[in-house]
């Protein structure tokens, strides 16, 4: 059963994951409203998120270092308040330059969560896979809520409100966390679990590093390309056929990420009981296979296929984070997660450019999905070559 002996840290870790992913994704729906209001093309507006998406990755290293040296919970408080302030500034932007600068700051504060939050969860939980799976649900929920609320707010109150209202909520949660840190109800001090003291054989270290870096990059590509392009893809292929406006598209994207987020919990439970390596490898293979079919899907089944791909992309994250925790020295665990997420999220700027260029050239994203399918299929065989360790086998 999920250990909730730390209810307040569990709440703030989960809500932080939700807020971070919500703020990192909602621009791709909000941009549909700005496109109409400012009469600027979609590809030009998507380009404004380039530096923001870059900083989501680049900021992970200093965020991880500060989390290890100072406080994981303290850094999460900084994230809540920083995201809230910068989201409000985004809503107050009146030209592309100010919007780009504010989106860049938004990306920087988004970078805090994963190195600080994941190591916080890993070290305060008994059943690590289940705890990570539970926490990861809220990442998918955050993307879903971001799409749903953004579509609704854009259509009914203007795109500015889609930035500013979530920003106010984030500041409020951050202030509550500051209060709980100040009163000692949430510890400011880092706790390091002894469960991950087992290190791999020295001869395997380089192989593990190379394969895991490639895996993180490929998984990040699939995640980012779907998150970035899916609202527009649905608009292109199904918008006229299903009579979809921004709110309806937001609701569809929301449903995909909320439902798929539940797979995180299932993936975490399986990671506690079975071979982490095999769960990870099979999830990668299924994503690669389905991406090849998704590339030119033109019917309403596209939505169901997107849901399945995103679900498997989510479900293997607990296994991936457990593997990294086993290989990382405890005192640098947040930094190791920072390296992971600087790589994973640094794929974002590349994807933003690829999505923009692909749309400008073809009004479509077919090639981007095909490339993702091929990469994940090849990656499956690389993961199988990882050394199998006794601690990777769990009794059912």
- Against a cut of 0.85, is the pTM above it? no
Predicted confidence at residue 396, as pLDDT, reads 32
Predicted confidence at residue 273, as pLDDT, reads 86
- Give the other-Cβ count within 10 Å of 381's Cβ: 11
- Residue 3 counted as domain residue: no
Average pLDDT over residues 97-104: 97
What pLDDT, in 10s, does the model give residues 168-192?
Answer: 999 999 999 999 999 999 988 877 6
- Give the other-Cβ count within 10 Å of 273's Cβ: 16
- Residue 58 counted as domain residue: yes
- Residue 210 counted as domain residue: yes
- Residue 141 counted as domain residue: yes
- Of 2 and 331, the structure prediction assigns the larger pLDDT to 331
d(CA 71, CA 79) in angstroms, rounded, equals 12
Count of domains for the chain: 1
Is 234 a residue whose pLDDT tops 60? yes
Average pLDDT over residues 110-135: 86
- Residue 356 counted as domain residue: yes
- Residue 396 counted as domain residue: no
Query: In b/e form, how buried is each residue of 323-337, taking b as 16+ CB within 10 angstroms?
Result: bbbbbbebeebbbbb
Query: How many residues would you count in the chain?
Result: 396
User: How far apart, in Å, are the Cα atoms of 163 and each of 14, 122, 166, 320?
Assistant: 21, 31, 6, 32
Is 69 a residue whose pLDDT tops 80? yes
- Most confident by average pLDDT, 28-37, 234-243, 263-272: 28-37
- Residue 192 counted as domain residue: no
Two tokens, residue 8: 């307040």
- Residue 193 counted as domain residue: no
If you ran DSSP here, which 8-state letter would residue 118 be given?
I
- What is the domain-level CATH number for residue 181? 1.20.1250.20
Could you tell me the residue range of the domain that residue 373 belongs to? 8-186+199-388
Q: Give the CA dihedral 121, 126, 132, 135, nearest 10 degrees.
A: -70
Averaged pLDDT of the chain: 86
What pLDDT, in 10s, does the model give residues 142-168?
Answer: 877 888 899 899 999 999 999 999 999
d(CA 174, CA 153) in angstroms, rounded, equals 23
d(CA 292, CA 91) in angstroms, rounded, equals 38
């Amino acid at each position: 059963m999920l250990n909730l002996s730390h209810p307040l840290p569990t709440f703030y870790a989960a809500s932080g994951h939700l807020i971070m992913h919500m703020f990192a994704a909602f621009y791709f729906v909000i941009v549909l409203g700005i496109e109409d209001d400012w009469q600027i093309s979609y590809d030009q507006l998507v380009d404004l998120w380039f530096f923001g998406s870059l900083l989501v990755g680049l900021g992970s290293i200093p965020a991880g270092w500060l989390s290890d040296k100072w406080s994981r919970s303290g850094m999460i408080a900084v994230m809540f308040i920083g995201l809230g302030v910068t989201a409000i500034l985004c809503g107050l932007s009146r030209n592309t330059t100010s919007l780009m600068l504010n989106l860049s700051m938004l990306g920087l504060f988004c970078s805090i969560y994963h190195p600080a939050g994941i190591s916080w969860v890993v070290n305060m939980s008994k059943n690590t896979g289940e705890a990570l799976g539970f926490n990861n649900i809220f990442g998918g929920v955050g993307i879903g809520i971001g799409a749903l609320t953004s579509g609704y707010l854009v259509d009914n109150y203007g795109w500015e409100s889609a930035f500013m209202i979530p920003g106010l909520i984030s500041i409020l949660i951050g202030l509550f966390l500051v209060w709980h840190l100040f009163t000692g109800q949430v510890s400011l001090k880092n706790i390091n679990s002894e469960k991950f003291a087992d290190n791999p054989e020295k001869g395997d270290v380089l192989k593990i590093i190379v394969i895991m870096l490639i895996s993180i990059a490929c998984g990040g590509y699939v995640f980012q390309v779907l998150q970035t392009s899916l609202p527009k893809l649905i608009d292109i292929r199904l918008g006229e056929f299903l009579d979809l406006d921004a709110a309806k598209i937001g609701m569809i994207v929301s449903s995909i990420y909320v439902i798929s987020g539940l797979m995180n919990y299932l993936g975490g439970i399986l990671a506690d009981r079975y071979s982490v390596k095999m769960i990870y490898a099979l999830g990668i293979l299924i994503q690669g296979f389905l991406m090849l079919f998704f590339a030119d899907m033109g019917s309403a089944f596209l939505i169901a296929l997107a849901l399945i791909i995103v679900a498997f992309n989510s479900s293997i994250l607990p296994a991936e984070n457990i593997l990294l925790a086993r290989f990382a020295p405890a005192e640098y665990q947040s930094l190791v997660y920072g390296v992971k997420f600087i790589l994973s999220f640094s794929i974002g700027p590349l994807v933003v450019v690829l999505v923009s260029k692909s749309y400008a050239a073809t009004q479509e994203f077919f090639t981007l999905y095909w490339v993702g399918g091929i990469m994940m299929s090849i990656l499956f065989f690389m993961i199988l070559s990882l050394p199998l360790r006794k601690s990777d086998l769990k009794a059912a």
